[in-house]
């Protein structure tokens, strides 16, 4: 199934709270990483929507931008709001700090590990990888600069209506890697009651995880941290006075993102991975 046939409409909001989030990234050969988020938070039926874009060049600098939005409209193959649009293969975003126009040409079809990824009574966390691997071309723009972008891309979608103070995960690891004709995606969630929930994909099919927590044939090498922060303090969220309340109610999550080298089936490539730890949660 191609990206232009996916239904990108927002799911109905759940009471009292639900979150729906799209995440896209592009990995470049020179070590640069581009990240784009579209998030919709619903509290008691009131939606708050925001786009965040970040570009991490290999020299260690960062270019960031974010924008608050109104209504999000979506359907088969399209999603539109004031700061971001997905039209089939094309992703465009516009913020005061960073904008881009990117084309994702899929190498692989949509994949979901399970439905849902994690259930908590009648509430759940769903994870759908809409684009596991793509060739990406485009251009980024920011005040005082711009550059062309050619790399390997990815896009997923997460929805959850679990109450923040009952969120069951204590540690989450996620990663993806690309090398030549190969690509892999994986995630491992450790819960408060000791469960280990996993999902993995490699070269178009479900995959088991090896003892290192990676799909078979995938080796992760040298890594470089490019983001290390408390989630409630992330610049793009602009939480202001709500920052401490979110940290307290959600388990005070902290995330670390790394750019990595990798080898898949003997071919050298690049990857990105993330670890999120909910620091006040205990097993």
Alpha carbon distance 242, 227 (integer Å): 22
Mean pLDDT score of the chain? 91
CATH number at residue 137: 2.40.370.10
Comparing 30-39, 114-123, 170-179, 234-243, the range with the smallest average pLDDT is 234-243
Alpha carbon distance 110, 115 (integer Å): 14
Residue 8's region, left for phi above 0, alpha for psi from -120 to 50, else beta, is: alpha
> How are beta strands 118-120 and 169-179 bridged, if at all?
unpaired
**Is the residue at 86 inside a domain?**
yes
Alpha carbon distance 49, 257 (integer Å): 23
Q: What is the pTM (predicted TM-score) of this model? A: 0.93
**Is the residue at 170 inside a domain?**
yes
* Residue 205, strand partner residues: 202
**Is the residue at 247 inside a domain?**
yes
Residue 245 has pLDDT above 70, yes or no: no
How many Cβ atoms from other residues are within 10 Å of residue 172's Cβ?
Answer: 20
Q: Please compute the mean of the pLDDT values over residues 37-56 and round it to a whole number.
A: 93
**Is the residue at 283 inside a domain?**
no
Residue 112 has pLDDT above 90, yes or no: yes
Q: Is 233 in a helix, a strand, or coil?
A: helix
Copy the structure tokens of residue 79.
């999603």
**pLDDT bracket for residue 1 (50, 70, 90):** very low
Domain count of the fold of the chain: 1
Closest CA to 274 of 21, 25, 98, 42: 25
- Domain that residue 194 falls in: 3-278
Query: Which pLDDT value is given to residue 248?
Result: 59
Closest CA to 158 of 150, 149, 169: 169
pLDDT, tens only, 176-225: 999 999 999 999 999 999 999 999 999 999 999 999 999 999 999 999 99
Residue 2 has pLDDT above 70, yes or no: no
Residue 141 has pLDDT above 60, yes or no: yes
Query: Which pLDDT value is given to residue 243?
Result: 54
What percent of the chain is predicted at pLDDT more than 70? 91
pLDDT, tens only, 54-108: 999 999 999 999 999 989 999 999 999 999 999 999 999 999 999 999 999 999 9
pLDDT, tens only, 29-39: 999 999 999 99
């Amino acid at each position: 199934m191609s990206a232009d046939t996916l239904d990108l409409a927002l799911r109905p909001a759940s009471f009292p709270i639900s979150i729906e989030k799209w995440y896209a990234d592009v990995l470049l050969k020179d070590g640069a990483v581009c990240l784009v988020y579209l998030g919709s938070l619903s509290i008691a039926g009131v939606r708050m929507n925001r786009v965040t874009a970040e570009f991490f060049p290999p020299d260690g600098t960062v270019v960031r931008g974010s924008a608050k939005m109104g209504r999000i409209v979506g359907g088969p193959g399209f999603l539109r709001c004031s700061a971001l649009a997905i039209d089939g293969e094309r992703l465009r975003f516009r913020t005061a700090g960073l904008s881009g126009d990117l084309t994702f040409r899929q190498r692989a079809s949509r994949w979901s590990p399970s439905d849902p990824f994690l259930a908590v009574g009648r509430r759940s966390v769903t994870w759908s990888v809409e684009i596991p691997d793509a060739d990406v071309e485009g251009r980024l723009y920011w005040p005082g600069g711009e550059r062309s972008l050619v790399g390997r891309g990815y896009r997923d979608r997460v929805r959850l209506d679990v109450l923040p103070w009952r969120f069951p995960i204590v540690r989450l690891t996620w990663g993806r890697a690309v090398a030549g004709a190969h690509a892999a995606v994986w995630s491992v969630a450790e819960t408060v009651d000791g469960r280990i929930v996993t999902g993995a994909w490699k070269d178009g099919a479900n995959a088991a995880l090896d003892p290192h927590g990676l799909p078979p044939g995938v080796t992760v090498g040298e890594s470089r941290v490019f983001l290390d922060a408390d989630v409630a303090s992330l610049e793009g969220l602009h939480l202001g006075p709500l920052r401490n309340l979110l940290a307290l109610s959600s388990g005070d999550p902290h995330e670390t993102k790394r750019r990595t080298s990798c080898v898949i089936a003997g071919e050298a490539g690049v990857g990105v991975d993330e670890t999120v730890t909910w620091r006040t949660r205990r097993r």
